[in-house]
Amino acid sequence: MKDFKIYLIAASLLLTIYVVIQFNKPVPVNWAPTLSYADKIPFGTFILYNRLKDLFPGAEVTGTTGSLYNVFSKPLPPGNYIIIARQLKVSKIDFEQLVKYVQAGNHVFMSGFNWDGFLKQQLKIETGLDGDTDKVHLNFTNPRLNKPRGYIFTNDISRQYFSKFDTAKATVISKNGAGEATFLSYKFGNGTLLLCATPEIFSNYSLLTPQGAEYAALALSYLPPKQHVFWDLYQNHDVLNDQSPVGLFLDNPSLQWAYYLSLFTLFIYIVFEVKRRQRVIPVIEPLKNATIDFVGVVGKVYYEKRDNANIAGKKIRYLLNHLREKYQLKTNKPDDEFIENLIHKTGTDPALARELVSCINYLTQKTKVTDRELIVLNQLIEKFYSQS
């Protein structure tokens, strides 16, 4: 009995030590590029959002929670409008209201990873990634802001650039070391629209370095002093208020009346059908889909191993197999002839096809693949599937 008490005390002591160690061990750093104004993780924008008054002294900073159409179609004070988001999807009506706001003498700054929708089509912009995965340096084209050695950034935060844009309408403000544009300016009436291809430059990770803080401050200095600065919370999905389907209907007068008419019709139907009786239908539980659980387990295994090269290789092999089986394409040599056949048989956008094949050729030669490169490959493949 005495020996049992000793074992019990020792086990309790070890368990207490284990709990204390687990409780006090450091939390792993979250490197997800959320670009959220509320996130203090490396790739959040908490610092920039809370230092806007330092960049625009005396200005009132306001967060907007609606789409561009809903924000600009209502009376909005003159000022600077800032959008930093992972995906920038601007519809035609959004773009029209945005241009009206800019033409009135206001200024809009936009930065994101993915550019989609009417804005991309109207301004004819495409993005690409610089091949230098170690470090990329940026510099302003303005001689007064130009730095002799440029602004050097690491950790892949400045690799993206504008591979295509309308040179007749856009003014290049900043370029990377290869001479590719990363910051553009468009003139509309009395205001300007600024587009930046490197949103992570404005993240917490970048602003905590002298290079990043200086570059971000100079980039935002293209926005003139205004009494009002608006920070868009909708494009980056930082708020859920405007995502309600009912809210969308009530914001549009035509849809509002259609919504009320539908409710009235439903009410009439219920009144006339209230006497109808029906036998209770038993609930049959659907068969459990074990495939989803299996995929989840496999996904967790790959995520824990962090073998991005293996995942990229499997995605590429699956895509090439799909091209062989569905389009009878020869995939042993992804060269220019293969790209032309791919465009002809799948009807894919030529720029997307070339960028996808280039990314495949680039990653198949690498033994290590970064998270960013894997994400870019996945986005290109998904976009290809949607177009073909």
User: Around Cβ 328, how many Cβ atoms within 10 Å?
Assistant: 9
Q: How do residues 240-255 score in pLDDT, each as one tens digit? A: 544 456 666 665 666 7
Residue of higher predicted confidence among 343 and 83: 83
* Residue 316, CA atoms < 13 Å, CB-side half-sphere: 24
Q: Is the pLDDT of residue 172 over 50?
A: yes
From residue 96, alpha-carbon distances to 49, 107, 136, 206 in Å are 27, 15, 35, 33
Q: What are the tokens at 324?
A: 């062989």
Mean pLDDT value across residues 270-288:
70
Residue of higher predicted confidence among 357 and 147: 147
Portion of the chain with pLDDT greater than 90, in percent: 45
For the chain, percent helix, then strand, then coil, each to nearest 5?
A: 45, 20, 35
Contacts of 39 (CB under 8 A, 6+ apart): 45, 46, 204
Q: Is the pLDDT of residue 141 over 70?
A: yes
- Would you state the pLDDT for residue 242? 45
Measure the CA–CA gap between 301 and 310, rounded to whole angstroms.
12
Give the CATH number of domain 46-241; options: 1.10.10, 3.30.70, 3.90.400, 3.40.50: 3.40.50
Residue of higher predicted confidence among 280 and 266: 266
- Would you state the pLDDT for residue 243? 47
For 173-211, b where at least 16 C-beta lie within 10 A, e where not — what string?
bbbbeeebbbbbbbebeebbbbbbbbbbbbbbbbbeeeb
Measure the CA–CA gap between 67 and 79, rounded to whole angstroms.
17
Mean pLDDT of all residues belonging to the chain? 84
- Would you state the pLDDT for residue 79? 95
Domain-wise residue ranges, the chain: 46-241, 292-387
Q: Is the pLDDT of residue 295 over 70?
A: no
- Would you state the pLDDT for residue 337? 79
Measure the CA–CA gap between 363 and 380, rounded to whole angstroms.
13
Pairing of strands 107-117, 191-196: parallel
**Beta strand extents in the chain (DSSP E only):** 60-64, 80-90, 107-117, 126-129, 135-140, 151-154, 160-164, 170-176, 181-188, 191-196, 228-232
Measure the CA–CA gap between 25 and 29, rounded to whole angstroms.
12
Find where tokens 């800019």 sit: 102
Q: How do residues 20-37 score in pLDDT, each as one tens digit? A: 666 566 778 788 999 999
Name the phi and psi angles at 117, rounded to 5: 90, -160
